[in-house]
Every structure is written in structure tokens, then in C-alpha cells.
Structure 1
């Protein structure tokens, strides 16, 4: 018997409900803005690996989101941090699989995007403006992870080596380019909270 009313029974899997890190019940079919908070999004994205996990080291969606934010102009930075926020709950499904699944996943993803953007008072329409920076990030990541490209490494060296940023956004190892889950969580959450407060 489940004694905590905030945690969904783990074997009750047919009702489209899941429990989040902060013990929020997430309705996967009908998500609403009040279900979403920065900590759950940061935790989910920090624990989710890009490229289906097929990388030499762990590379999180949280770190990817920060890279897109760094590439984008200031007016798009909150949208950049939130553009993959649905994956904190739905997982990072690689594009070839999304194409095989078809419209059903896209519809589910769109519901989450709408609810999350509404919760944080961000404009979903900015996602179209963000696509060039997302593609640029993808190229930098792919070159670094698969072709020994240095553009990605230079972006994150520039972030963690500045003394001001190192104090504001502490990392476990400032020389480590691919962040572990803890660093990715702390970095992403800090950037998101700062962006929501207008200080990024």
C-alpha cells in the first residue's frame, strides 16, 4: 500500500501518471502548468543523456540547454533553457525514433511545452526563432563527441574558467568539459532561476 499521497504507486502504470523528483504527480496525458517547477526540470534534464546515451562520456540535456542559451541572443535565453524541458519527463528520444513514432509523440511533447512555457511565462512562439541556435549546438556537440572538434570545448572552457562564473556557478572540476549529473543540475538550475529573475 502506498502511504505517501504525493507519490504515485510504482506499479500503477496504465493511468498515465508519474511521480517527479519533488514528489509532484505528473499527468502525462493532460499536463497543467502547476505541475512544473525548476528543480524537477533541472533534475530530469541533468539525469538524461543526449544522443541516446551513445557517447564516450555522459553528456546531459541540461548541459545542451545551457549551450543553446550561450549561443542564443538574450531575448531567447529563457526559451533556450526551456526548449527541451519536456524531456525532463518524457526522456530524450533521438530524432530517428521520433520520426518512426510519428505524430503521437509530437502531440504529447507539444502539450508539455505549452504547459511548461505557460508556467514560466515564456513565449512558445520563440521556439521557432531558437532553431538555428539549437542546430548550431547540435553541430558543435557532434563534432566534439564524435570528430574531436574543439568548438564545443572552447565554449565551456570560456564558461567555467572565468573567475566570476566559477564563483557563481561552481562545478565539481572546472577542467572537466562534460559535466556529471550533479554539476549539470546545479548549473542548469542556477541559470534557470537567474533567467526567471531577469539576471542572466
Structure 2
């Protein structure tokens, strides 16, 4: 058996040896719209794509650059090819972390974000942590941080149909890069 997965667009994708040309925004949007946050322990289905959309919206409201906005939309894109592990498990699996980092780097390269600065990456991480806090507070009645981080938006954490989330993800992507959707 080969070490590839078959993507939504029927591409044989090798997650351990990713090829930029095999990375498709449609595969990312579809997969993330069907993946749940918090390993499925939310009060209702809430997808990684919804989280990514909210991260984009938060970055945009903070006045971050288009690059940072796109980085926020795509910061979990590697999960569409290798799934995700919870933070406590991931921290104890250096090999998984290395695979995820390599794949995310190739994804960022594919979408023109290979040269994100340290400051841009810190902005993306801060937005991700902000949304994590408010997702857990709303969907799990649990506060991640003792002092809630400042936020610029009021995210809607309601349950949504995956297809509408997928379409919104794609519309945002094409809007940010200045193209109409395919």
C-alpha cells in the first residue's frame, strides 16, 4: 500500500512528501468544513473551516495585512491532509509536529506565504489563540485563559451546514487573492 491519501478532487496526495502542485484550495475547504474542532467535544458540530473563517474575520477587523488574513484562513490547512491531534498529544509527538510543520510550510509556499515574518506569524498565532478561547467559552463553557484576550469581532459559533461553510471559505480565499471563484 502506498503512502498517499485520495483527496476530494481525486488527487493522490503524499502527506509525508507533499508536492505544492497537488495542494488545492478546494480540497482544503471541503475537508476542513467536515472536520470538527476540539476533537468533537463541542456542544454541537463546529468545523475547523468555521474556526478558520473566524480567524480571517478577526485578522481583518484588527487591520492586519491581506497576507496575515490569508495566513489566518490557512493556518490549519495541514489538518485537511493529516487530520489533527489535540494540543497535549501533539506536544508529546515530535515526529507528528515535524510532519505538520513541513506540510504547513509547503501549503504556505503554495499560496505565496512562505516568507511570513516572525511578527506576522505571531499575529496569526494570537488570532488563533483568541478564537480558541472564545470557542471553548461558548461551545464548552470553559475558559482557556484566565484573562480573556481582546477580540475585534463577535464570532457566530452556531452550527452551520458544512456546504455553506465550504463555500464561504472559498469565497473568502478568492476575495483575498483578488480572483473570482472557479
* TM-score category of the 2 structures, normalised to the smaller one: 0.7 to 0.9
Distance 2:164 2:72 in 1: 19
Conserved in 1, the CA contact under 8 Å of 2:56 and 2:69? Answer: yes
RMSD of aligned Cα (Å): 2.3
Distance 2:14 2:114 in 1: 22
Q: Give the alignment partner of residue 137 of structure 2, picking from 131, 143, 161.
A: 143
Distance 1:97 1:17 in 2: 23
For 1:185, the equivalent position in structure 2 comes to 166
Report matched runs for 1:141-180 at 5 Å: 141-147=135-141, 155-156=154-155, 177-180=158-161
Runs (4 or more) in structure 1 with deviation over 2 Å come to 123-129, 154-157
Distance 2:40 2:142 in 1: 18
For 1:95, the equivalent position in structure 2 comes to 87
Shift of 1:107: 0.9
Shift of 1:54: 0.9
Count how many residue pairs are aligned between Structure 1 and Structure 2: 165
1:83 counterpart = 2:75: yes
Shift of 1:198: 7.1
Report which structure shows greater RCO (CA 8 Å, sep ≥6): 2
Q: Give the alignment partner of residue 6 of structure 2, picking from 19, 22, 27.
A: 19
TM-score by length of 2: 0.82
Shift of 1:123: 3.6
For 1:41, the equivalent position in structure 2 comes to 28
Tell me the SS of whatever aligns to 2:18. coil
| Structure 2 runs not aligned, ≥5 long | 144-149
1:121 counterpart = 2:104: no
Against the structure 1 CA distance between its residues 155 and 178, is the aligned structure 2 distance closer, same or farther, given a 3 Å change threshold? farther
Shift of 1:156: 3.7
